[in-house]
Structures are given as structure tokens and as C-alpha cells.
Structure 1
Amino acid sequence: MSMKHLVISVIGQDSPGLVDTLSDTVFQHHGNWLASSLTQLAGQFAGILQISVEEQYEAALITALKSQQAFHIHVVDGNETPPAEQTIALTVSGNDRRGIVNQVSHLLGQNGINISKLKTETKSAPAWGYPLFYAYFQLETKTEIDLDEIQSQLEQLADDLTIDFD
């Protein structure tokens, strides 16, 4: 029996029970929920899932997911990827402004660094009230990189950015 890996994006009006509906649909159609990132943004429930399913159940699972009225669903074939040579956590913080993610992602891409996860948020600065931007990256590379050089390049993007590697 051949296993298929599916990557499923989902978006819909947020309400209680949406994850239950998704997980039940996957379970009832012989799927295995491998990984996900789900969140509520501006009143919408949005997420991405990785599901494995035996090939014989794939079509029925996709049909069942797409028949859910509460969601907009998009499904693509996935595959298992070999592990990276190096996994690095990067936190970027600073005064909120347009273009931070664009500049950081561009610089990382130019250096051959893959972004495998990205979480961002904006918070009010304690005591001052102006917005601070935080980006939490999980990076992967196939080769060793010079973190000091990457940090230096990132810090040159703006005076107020704080760069932390872990």
C-alpha cells in the first residue's frame, strides 16, 4: 500500500468546532494528521496541514474535505524531504514598519538559507505604546553558514533591529 502525503491549506470564518470538524474528516477517511500550523487571524481560521493517507483513500478524503461548507480548501501533493544539515532559530525584533519580513527573507534567500517556519506578531511596547514587531524564523541550510556574517548583514538592514540566533 502506497502512502500519499498531502499538504492542505484551509481558511474559513472562525467558530468553535472547526478543528474538530477537520480532524474528524481526516480520521473518518483513514488519514493520519502529521503536522499542522493553525491560527485565528482577523476573525478567520487559517491553517496548513500535512496528512498521510493510503493512496486508495486519497480521493475520498479530498472530496470530503472540499465538501465542508465552512472552509475553503486547497490540496497539493507533498513528499518527505531529507533533513537539513543545520537548523537554526532566528528572532528578529524592532520597531514595526513595512518591509521587515521582505528584507530579512530576501537576505536569507541570497545566502542560500531556507525558511522552514515563520511566525510574526506585533505588540505594543511596554510603557511607550508604539508597536514592536517580532519575527521567529526556523532556518535550514544544506551547508554550514557563518552566523556572525549573517547577523552582521541582518543588522545592517536597520538600526533598530535586534537579531538573535539560537
Structure 2
Amino acid sequence: MKHLIITVIGKDRPGLVEVLSDTVYQNHGNWLASSLSKLAGQFAGILQVEVASQYIPVLGQALSHIDELQIHIVEDESKSAPSIALHYLTVTGNDRPGIVKEVTRQLNQLGININKLKTDTQSAPNWGYPIFTAHFQLELPSELNLGVIQEELEKLADDLTVDIHDSPIA
């Protein structure tokens, strides 16, 4: 069995996830994992599918026929990944251009790999300005101390709140 990573993007509409899941199922695929979102009226997602080698072309062809969706398929060629310790980072602050750039640059300089990133901006009615929140799932170099990460990220801006923990926040 092969693992495929499939990205999809297109105009959102009701039933789109059902069409995707049915197409995977009808073409001998097994839907393993996904992250799907509606952003600015567009449906965007990434999914991991397991399928026998002989069905990869059939599945790809079937997915390409889903109206209004752009599909990109990559075969996962990695071998079984070693077990790694994950850490979770939440950064909150007043919304402004460049927060994601600054935080990700600092994480990269520390040698940290970002496994997942979810961001959101919400109105803060009592404050009068939007609040930005980013949730990261991180792989850290074994020699890196969590305190160093906290200290370096807090240097970026006075209004950033940085929380690093060993389990995800629901």
C-alpha cells in the first residue's frame, strides 16, 4: 500500500467533503487523515490516503474530475518515521502584519520544525482591536531548552503572550 498526500482547493459548496470521501472510497482508497477548512469562500484541504499501487492512477483521474477543484497528489516516499516528542506553542497578541513571519523566522533560527500551524484572528470587543492567535505543533532539537524558546519569542514584541506545553490545548 502507498500513502498519498493530496491537496485540494476550490470554491466551497455543500457536499464537497462527501464527494471527496466517496471518490476516495469508490477508487479503493482509505482516507487516513485530513485537515480541511473554508477560507474566504474557498475550500482548502490536505489529506492522506492509503491506496494499492495499481489504483493510484485511477484515483488520481477520478479526483481530477471533481468540478471546480484543483487537485495535487504527491506520493509519500518516507519510511516509517521515528518516534519524536512534540511540543505545542500558542502565541497570542494584537493583530498586525508580520506576526507569523517573525515567529516562524525565530523558530527556524532555533532549528525547530513546524509540524502544524493553525491561526485565527478574532475581534476583542472589550479592547477595540483584533487579537491574533497561532497554535503550533513543533519538533524541537533534543538539546533545545523550552525556556530559550519562550525567551526568544517574547523578545519579538511586548504584547505577545507565549505558552509552550507538552500536550495540545483543545
Provide TM-score, normalisation by structure 1. Answer: 0.94
Per-residue deviation, 1:14: 0.8
Match for residue 27 of structure 1? 25
**CA displacement at 1:84 relative to structure 2:** 4.7
In structure 1, the partner of 2:55 is: 57
Unaligned runs of 5+ in 2: 166-170
Larger deviation, residues 151-160 vs 99-108: 99-108
- Structure 1 residue ranges, 4+ long, deviating more than 4 angstroms after superposition: none
Contact 1:93 1:161 in 2 (8 A): yes
Once the two structures are superposed, residues 40-61 of structure 1 have per-residue CA deviations (whole angstroms, 9 ceiling, x without a partner) of 0001111001111000101100
Residues 85 and 143 in structure 1, CA contact (< 8 A), matched pair in contact too: no
Does 2:39 align with 1:41? Answer: yes
Amino acid paired to 1:55:
S
**d(CA) in 1 for partners of 2:84, 2:98:** 29
1:53-132 map, 5 Å:
53-78=51-76, 79-132=78-131
RMSD value, Cα: 1.2
CA offset at residue 81 of structure 1?
4.9
Q: Can you list the C-alpha shifts for 1:114-139, whole angstroms capped at 9, x where unaligned?
A: 10000000011131230000000000
AA paired with 1:116?
A: N
Report the number of matched residues.
164
Deviation at 1:144, TM superposition (A): 4.1
TM-score by length of 2: 0.92
Q: Is the 8 A contact 1:114 1:139 kept in 2?
A: yes
Give aligned-pair identity as a percent.
Answer: 59
* Letter of the 1:114 counterpart: N
> 1:161 & 1:71 partners in 2: Cα distance?
38
Quickly say closer, same or farther: Cα 1:41–1:7, change in 2 above 3 A: same
Deviation at 1:68, TM superposition (A): 1.1
Structure 1 stretches of 5 or more lacking a match?
none
